């Protein structure tokens, strides 16, 4: 196992002055430059959350106006019903009835 780790660039001892052989494939090119590798990792992980957020559905799709529009098409208006907090017991009783 240690031989394999040494081959991929992991130094054998803490504080070892031996240079690691870290490589990363960037745009189909193998890169050995540790500065470019660290900048690439930094870019990937600093932009990851914004890229994931872009893939989320549009939250405005289900906003208050969209909900009102859906229910108004069904003949319900804002004065027809109301929501209120209920206890777990009330929910449990309705589910079991």
> What is the structure's pLDDT at 89?
93
| Residue 88, in any domain of the structure | yes
How far is 58 from 17, CA to CA, in rounded Å?
51
| Residue 37, in any domain of the structure | yes
| Residue 89, in any domain of the structure | yes
| Residue 51, in any domain of the structure | yes
| Residue 27, in any domain of the structure | yes
| Residue 16, in any domain of the structure | no
7: CB partners within 8 A, 6+ apart: 21
* Nearest to 40, CA basis, from 51, 20, 24, 19: 24
Determine the structural domain holding residue 46 and report its residue range: 23-97
pLDDT, greater one: 58 or 97: 97
pLDDT, greater one: 12 or 52: 52
DSSP category for residue 71: H
The answer, as to whether pTM is greater than 0.85, is no
pLDDT tens per residue across span 21-79: 778 888 888 888 888 988 998 898 888 888 887 877 665 667 778 777 877 888 777 67
| Residue 65, in any domain of the structure | yes
Q: What domain count does the chain have? A: 1
């Amino acid at each position: 196992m240690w031989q394999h780790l040494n081959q991929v660039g992991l130094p054998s001892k803490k504080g070892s002055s031996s240079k690691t052989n870290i490589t990363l494939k960037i745009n189909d090119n193998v890169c050995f430059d540790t500065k470019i590798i660290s900048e690439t990792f930094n870019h990937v992980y600093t932009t990851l959350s914004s890229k994931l957020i872009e893939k989320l559905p549009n939250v405005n799709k289900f906003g208050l106006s969209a909900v009102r529009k859906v229910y108004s098409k069904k003949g319900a208006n804002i004065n027809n019903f109301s929501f209120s907090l209920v206890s777990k017991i009330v929910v449990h009783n309705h589910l079991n009835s």
